[in-house]
Amino acid sequence: MEVSSLCNIFDCAKCDFGRAERCLGCILGNEQLAALGEDTCGIYRCVREHGASSCGGCRRPACPLEHRVDTIFPLRSRFESKRWWAGKIAKSLCDRVRQLRELQPSRRISDRTVARLRWYLLALEDLAAKGSAVVSSREIADRVGVSAALVRKDLSYFGEFGTPSFGYGLRYLQSKIAEILHLNEQRNVIWIGAKRLTANASLFDELRRHNCQIVAVLDPDESLVGTRIGDLQVFHLSSLKKVVENLDADAAVVAVPPGEAQHVADALVSAGVKAMLNLTSVLLQVPGDINVRSVDVAAELMALSFYTGESGRTPRAG
């Protein structure tokens, strides 16, 4: 079907409104509106401003109308359903933008964006538990403590998952974020540091909820070898390479005393583990292709102390 409207949605040659002369067409109709000093179609203005023949002729990966629903041609708005138009134009623009982005060199996603995705997922789980079916970026933002614009920006790196002014299908967005984080695939994790896991046994169930499973526990302390944590028996660190090979481990948690941390990290690198969660106070030295996330409670409390001291408190008015 040959589409000839500026937005590339309508086939003007087959349009009943055009044949009945109720629509003058994008160009002529907008020119008459402009001559009368009335508002013109947002797409018409954008196409003229950027010298394109239509939306289909635009090659900019970022569309200024991508999240707008006020683009309907004023002459058509007299007989067109704005709800129908909003959905149609959003899909058309988003499909085109996505295709263009796929042709662009891949953009590096920041670590902070990836970290926020997990908070968005937790917020969606909370909303789903309350019975919500549709969610807005504002609702997600309020639960995570960021701006709605940042939520939309983070999600836009991975595609378009919602419709402007209508929000996101909650279950759909939940599944897409899980897919982005590869939580729809089974992840096998090795935990090194038996004592720390014993105090956090509830992690087994929490991780399973997100398709992540602790498949082995190891420790450099020989006195702990052979003990059990849940269904798992503790093995010695010397068994690491064999454990990684046999269990197809994707990541490891380093939860040993600080003096053992670097030794454990070196052993993990040697065994081929590419991702580590570091729960120690040591800044691990690893090759550049190894991804390390560090969670140090003492360091976080040190930073938090700024906000409890006089310098971090908001001055009182007057």
User: If DSSP codes are grouped into helix, strand and coil, which group holds residue 156?
Assistant: helix
User: If DSSP codes are grouped into helix, strand and coil, which group holds residue 130?
Assistant: coil
98-112 pLDDT, tens digit each:
555 554 444 567 878
pLDDT, mean of each 10-residue run, the chain (318 residues) = 61 68 72 80 76 66 55 60 62 58 56 89 91 91 92 86 78 90 85 87 77 90 92 92 88 93 93 91 88 83 76 49
- Domains of the chain in start order, with CATH, are 12-103 (no CATH), 111-180 (1.10.10.10), 187-302 (3.40.50.720)
Residues 55 and 47 sit within 8 Å (Cβ to Cβ): yes
How many beta carbons lie within 10 A of that of residue 215, not counting itself?
18
What's residue 35's pLDDT?
84
What's residue 224's pLDDT?
92
Closest CA to 162 of 102, 270, 86: 86
The CA distance from 250 to 92, in Å, is 39
Q: The tokens of 63 are what?
A: 């569309």
What's residue 237's pLDDT?
94
127-172 pLDDT, tens digit each:
999 888 899 999 999 999 999 999 998 998 887 787 666 788 899 9
The CA distance from 288 to 310, in Å, is 39
What's residue 112's pLDDT?
85
Q: Which residues of 158-197 are buried (b: 16+ CB within 10 A; e: fewer)?
A: eebbbbbeebbbbeebbebbbebbebeeebbbbbbbbebb
What's residue 4's pLDDT?
59
Helices in the chain by DSSP H: which ranges? Answer: 16-19, 26-35, 42-49, 82-103, 111-129, 137-144, 148-156, 170-180, 194-198, 203-208, 240-247, 258-271, 297-308
